[in-house]
Amino acid sequence: MNEEKTTQKPEPAEHGDVWQDVGKQAETLANSLASALKLTWEQVSHETQPHLLSLLRQVNQEVQRMIDRLEKTEPAAEATEETKLD
């Protein structure tokens, strides 16, 4: 009762076909992942856009207040410098 263990190695052409299949599956997986990430990014973008706009409006208001204060104090500072020159 001699059992021979035979290991069949795939032919070179079959071996190449296996790797081509693996490559195709990897490409399909990568494309699916890219699509999912793109969709997720778009959803996050739409969800955060109102908050971002609100934040930018607040920043804009504060910057405008600073400009207004600077413009009000600027003429007073210029007047003070003119009196020093006289």
Task: Give the tens place of pLDDT for each residue, 9-61.
Answer: 555 556 778 999 999 999 999 999 999 989 998 888 889 989 989 999 999 99
Task: Give the tens place of pLDDT for each residue, 61-75.
Answer: 999 999 999 999 876
Q: Is the pLDDT of residue 1 over 60?
A: no
Q: What does the pLDDT read at residue 73?
A: 86
Q: What is the 3-state secondary structure (H, E, C) of the chain?
A: CCCCCCCCCCCHHHHHHHHHHHHHHHHHHHHHHHHHHHHHHHHHHHHHHHHHHHHHHHHHHHHHHHHHHHHHHHHHHHHHHHHHHC
